[in-house]
Structure 1
Amino acid sequence: MMQEILSKTSWLEWLGVFFAVVQVLLAQRNNIHNYLFGIAGIILAMFVKFNAKLYAEFTLDFYYLVMSVYGWLFWKFGKKQTETPISFTTTTEKYKAIGIVVAAFLIFYIFLTNYTNSDVPLWDSLVTAFAWAGMWLMAKRKIENWVLLNMSNFLAVPLFIHKELYLYATLTAFLFVVAIFGYMNWYKILKQQNNG
């Protein structure tokens, strides 16, 4: 069984997963260089997911690519040309995040159902919608990004297994655990910022 799984795993998937692991470990430690590894991993993941007919996931990765560049610039310079601190979302940002989830879900579900040969339009759309909102919050350095990203991760593991992308399923399960520690670490940093 394991040999069969490994034989179905392309070198693109292996390399993409490696870069993604490095990225999330650096993000969890609040290290700005996470974006450089993330960009490399995202580009590789785009090829793999498009070939697996995970079109919403492909589009999500394109969004991740754009948001990674934006996030790197925002983390680096922010509005005041200094590094942006971690913060909680405001009420307005919470409504925007909910809006992103709902709008992304509807757009992807309608598109995948009517214009693609996707066999998992509902599932793919839901995973993607939570991730879009989570990545937006991460780029703004909001602690709640970890919660939304983990909602996406929770739903994505069985989706990747269904698509026989076992390495990405394993990566996503790993990301789920890392996101828990990421939240705790960012919370500790946030408390130190507020007390300092």
Structure 2
Amino acid sequence: MQHWIALFLEQLKATTWLEWAAVILGVAEVLLARANKVWLYPTGIAATLISVYLLLKVALYAECLLNGYYVVMSVYGWYHWIKKRGQPPVKVAYANRREWITTLLIVFAGWGLLYWLLVSFTQSTVPLWDAWVSSTAWAGMWLLARRKIENWVLLNISNLFAIPLLYHKDLAMFAVLTLILFIVAIFGYYDWRKIIINERLSNQDA
């Protein structure tokens, strides 16, 4: 335990202002998502672009590609959430059968593809684990873009596996951040559930 505390404090001292900006914007993105605010997308895009720059500096090219996916999904989600030609914004809802099929395809096809890429083109020591964390996060981002409540479940599956992975890689600070995001996502799920329940009650009263 003392080792992890010392490691965390060491990383805290070495953190640059750009890293702090990425972390703060990343937390803000999740809090805005929990509050069901469309501003989560420009905030998330800013955090991701900073992360891409930092990852390029340390030559983590595979991670840059993953973050590029987050940017694309954030732009898609931003567009999907806002009003289009006078139509109301997309409402929070549960995923239907077709969306669940797409979600599972993203998880398992993405897991296999990322595993192959990591094994074939990188020196990753944990390709299976790393690929799973990323593929479940991919699926969660897709569901978030469509305002489906299950996005919190997929994102937290990713977070649950990411926390020990980050500790395994001696990234204590990012493991703690992921733990915070895990807790926020739990509250996000119940907040969105209240939105769905209130919407159903409103429709019954109408």
Q: One fold, TM greater than 0.5?
A: yes
Task: Give the direction of change, closer, same or farther, for the CA distance of 1:63–1:105 in structure 2 (3 Å limit).
Answer: same
Q: Which residue of 1 aligns with 2:88?
A: 82
* Max Rg structure: 2
The Cα shift of 1:13 comes to 1.9
CA distance in 2, matches of 1:136, 1:79: 23
Instruction: Provide the residue aligned with 2:145 in structure 1.
Output: 139
1:115 aligned residue: 121
Q: Which residue of 2 is the match for residue 150 of structure 1?
A: 156
**What one-letter code is carried by the residue in structure 2 that aligns with 1:7?**
K
* Offset at residue 165 of structure 1 (A): 3.0
| Distance across 2 between alignment mates of 1:55 and 1:137 | 25
Displacement of 1:83: 0.7
Q: C-alpha deviations, 1:121-178, integer Å up to 9, x for none?
A: 1121010010011100000110000000000001111222233333322221111001
Give the letter for the 1:162 counterpart. H
Structure-2 change in CA distance of 1:122 and 1:129 (3 Å) = same
Give 1:60's aligned amino acid: L
User: What SS does the corresponding residue of 1:77 show, helix, strand or coil?
Assistant: coil
Q: Using the alignment, how far apart are the partners of 2:57 and 2:129 within structure 1? A: 17
Displacement, 1:43? 1.2
Tell me if the contact between 1:49 and 1:58 (Cα under 8 Å) persists in the aligned partners: yes
1:115 positional shift: 1.0
Instruction: Give the aligned length.
Output: 196
Q: 1:28 touches 1:186 (CA, 8 Å); kept in 2? A: yes
The one of 34, 39, 44 aligned to 2:40: 34
Moved more, 89-98 or 51-60: 51-60
Percent same amino acid at aligned positions?
Answer: 45
Q: Which runs of 5+ in 2 are unaligned?
A: 1-5
Counterpart Cα distance in 2 of 1:100 and 1:177: 24
